[in-house]
Structure 1
Amino acid sequence: MRKVFNSRIDDLTKKFILKEQGPLSYSDQIIWPYLYKNILAELFEELILYDKITIKLSKNNAPLAVLINELGIELVQELIKEGTIELVLWLPWIVVGQGQDGKGQFDSSYLKGQPSIVVAWQANKEYSEPFHAIENAISLLKGSYAYRKKSFIADTVDKVILFDQEAAHASSDFILESYRNNILGPLGVPYTLDHTELGYEQRLKLLTLANKLLDVTFLSKNKCDTHNDYEANIITSTCLTNVRNTAKIAENTNTILKIENLPSLKQFFFEEHISLKDIVKLRNKNATNEFRKWIHSVEENMDSKDLTEEYLNAISGKKQKIKNKFLKTGLIYTVGAGMGSIIGAATGNLEAGALVGISIPTAIQTLTSLGYSYFNSYVIEKFLGGWNPRLFIDELKLKQNNKL
């Protein structure tokens, strides 16, 4: 199973909806509609390409409100209940002290003698307890959801993950210990003074490293891919061994779509060939499920030429083993999984699956319902040839032509 960690909805809603950084500038107001559309396009892409989406919820839990607003409370409830969407309450914070003069004014001289970075904790019930966090997210929405709130909370509250303080303390301690041992020089923080004597700018560098380590520790532990481009360095390299960036999977998918004269998945969404609500129906089709397995089984670093050859081989059946005169099986997918930690990593297990053919009566019934025009792509490719990636492409083309 491939999971992706989505933190962008949380990051953007804190700035543009909750306005935690203050009133929006004129340029922010202009760009926000595009940014909002883009995070929805990313969600569309994730629903197609990943088995599970882990959504980060921090202060105010706005991402859950966005999901309910866009998909409807019933559908979001179903997706969480079945495990397609997973919510994680991001409770720990690593922060840097901002020295004050006792009157609320910043004064860096007051930093001396204070720890350079510290772990904070979200203690407010509205944000730290699943029941209250979900209730708070629903309260952000316009309109009444009273008719569904009780049922929604009952089905989802036990499925919320709590990311607790332990990892934050471990990340903070590791960074400070690395600093004391002068390991962080290549990263711009050589040891010069005790960390309690550092100036504000150096403390910010330590804070950035600690938060990056916290992020990749979560990603590695929970086996999640990520949109963020985390640089492999002496601090993160162990964890990043087990973390993939979503960009390559999306790039490979879009290469296939280009071969078939289709727009990228994001562009497909932007052009409104399919709504976000309808994507769930497409996601659950067998053609999409099998494509998801196939695209993750393709070698990640394959260039476009080799990927094109891989795709053409797959749709022509060259790599499939004929079982008998009528049926072909054997699409086996191997997914490497790993779990890392701050100090080490261990390998996971392998998953495999096979696609089994359909009966002749079923094929005939399906043929009559689809019409002769799809005889070649459906019966020949699926019934006689076994599943291949073009079946997913056919689904997209049907959506593009508004035939479904």
Structure 2
Amino acid sequence: MISDPSMFPVEYTQVINEVAEELLYYDKIAFQVYGENIPLAVLINTFGVKGIEELLEQQAIEFVLWTPIVTYLVEDIPGVLPLQSGNMSSKAHCDPEESIIRGMKWMLNPLPRRYRRTLTKKLEKVYKLPSPEAAQPAVEFGYQGFEANIFAQFGLPKTKELTELKVDERAELCSLANECLELAISASFKYDVSMSKRFVGLNRTEFQRLRNAELIRNVTDILFEIEQVPNFKELIKQGIIGIKEVPKIRGHKSSVKFRSWITQLGTSTKAKGIAKEYIDSIANTKGFFETQQGKFFKTVVVTAFSGVVGGVIGGKIGSFIGVTASKLAEPFIDLGLNLLDAYVFEGLTKGWSPKHYIDKEIRSLVERKK
């Protein structure tokens, strides 16, 4: 919904910039799609067909065709539970091809038929569909959370029975259940959550595993600040990185290596000093694990290696606009750097350092625009 049509150009530009940022921060981002794939039309309008094909080749984008729904009663019916669950049944909501075809109709300049057919086949391969049974557990979560008074902190305390809730309370309960549904589907696809979710703020282990996307962004921004270069948001805002340049820039080998490396460091929230020493030591001949900070890092931060090594190798990091896409850390965590950790780390960084990426890829762009 657009509350103020006069603000549409500003809001549209903001959304496009945010998508471009996500593509630079993460290996992959996924979009929630409700029926016709309007996000696809926006992406093609923004990056062009060539840009979209580059992103597909890089496995940088996915689409989740959203079929499950949780609804609430809008009329007061005594004795009836407030929520219902189900799935969308229209062809556009269930069939990726139909979703793509209808989405392309929103393009500013429609593609020739031969391009549409070729692109549609490629796009169908990056569609994901949630389980048909996904919505019912979210309803049960809503009921159980209300009965346990978990939702009191969200403004919905248990002061009455479920069947006695007023329409505004039913709407809020439905909103909480849908939020749970989104998180559950995110976890099932091994996605991280980028946008703020109320449940993610709870201090619970299962939700903490969904927070990696923000950590990756925050650590990247810290390193850019240390090296005194603008972050991706500012680079795009200032026109240093053009929107149409994003697919090519993120496809550079150095960019791919940096995202893999930052995924590991991103699972740690350690101080700037450690991050700075980490970068400098890799750039120098002296190994990081030979430094004093490195020894400390080895003891307390090595959790980032064993836990996410699968994610680094898989290279499926990213974020949703709504939900993010990434290979989550597996539950096995080791406090010591074992041989496999060391081997993988050496393989990732041999002959390359994140500082090289910042100097060669980012700083050079800044200097070019001066």
Normalization by structure 2: what TM-score?
A: 0.77
The residue that corresponds to 1:296 in the other structure is: 263
- 1:334 corresponds, among 305, 308, 311, to 305
| Secondary structure in structure 1 of the residue aligned to 2:36 | helix
1:29 lines up with 2:6 in the alignment: yes
- 2:251 corresponds, among 270, 277, 284, to 284
Shift of 1:138: 0.3
The residue that corresponds to 2:325 in the other structure is: none
The residue that corresponds to 2:354 in the other structure is: 389
Q: Runs of 5+ in structure 2 lacking a partner?
A: 291-301, 312-328, 334-339
The residue that corresponds to 1:400 in the other structure is: 366
Q: Runs of 5+ in structure 1 lacking a partner?
A: 1-14, 17-23, 100-109, 323-331, 340-344, 358-381
| Secondary structure in structure 1 of the residue aligned to 2:192 | strand
Taking a change above 3 Å as real, the CA distance of residues 398 and 177 of structure 1, as seen in their structure-2 partners, is same
| Secondary structure in structure 2 of the residue aligned to 1:165 | coil
Taking a change above 3 Å as real, the CA distance of residues 257 and 59 of structure 1, as seen in their structure-2 partners, is same
CA distance in 2 between partners of 1:60 and 1:112 (Å): 37
Taking a change above 3 Å as real, the CA distance of residues 245 and 37 of structure 1, as seen in their structure-2 partners, is farther
**Alpha carbons 1:227, 1:247 under 8 Å: kept:** yes
Shift of 1:180: 4.1
Pairing of 1:39-118 with structure 2 (within 5 A): 39-80=15-56, 82-99=58-75, 110-118=76-84
The residue that corresponds to 2:185 in the other structure is: 218
Shift of 1:129: 1.1
1:119 partner letter:
S
Taking a change above 3 Å as real, the CA distance of residues 90 and 315 of structure 1, as seen in their structure-2 partners, is same
Taking a change above 3 Å as real, the CA distance of residues 356 and 162 of structure 1, as seen in their structure-2 partners, is closer
Taking a change above 3 Å as real, the CA distance of residues 401 and 187 of structure 1, as seen in their structure-2 partners, is closer
Taking a change above 3 Å as real, the CA distance of residues 254 and 236 of structure 1, as seen in their structure-2 partners, is closer
| Secondary structure in structure 1 of the residue aligned to 2:234 | helix
1:163 lines up with 2:165 in the alignment: no
Identity of aligned residues (%): 25
Taking a change above 3 Å as real, the CA distance of residues 353 and 278 of structure 1, as seen in their structure-2 partners, is farther
Superposition CA RMSD, Å? 3.3
Shift of 1:192: 4.5
Shift of 1:234: 10
Greater radius of gyration (CA):
1
The residue that corresponds to 2:280 in the other structure is: 312
**Alpha carbons 2:38, 2:106 under 8 Å: kept:** yes
| Secondary structure in structure 2 of the residue aligned to 1:86 | strand
Q: In proportion to residue count, which structure has more helix?
A: 2
1:195 lines up with 2:166 in the alignment: no
The farther-off stretch of 62-71 and 164-173 is: 164-173
1:315 partner letter:
A
Shift of 1:57: 1.0
Per-residue deviation, residues 102-153 of structure 1 (Å, max 9, x unmatched): xxxxxxxx34344311124222212321010000110111223123111111
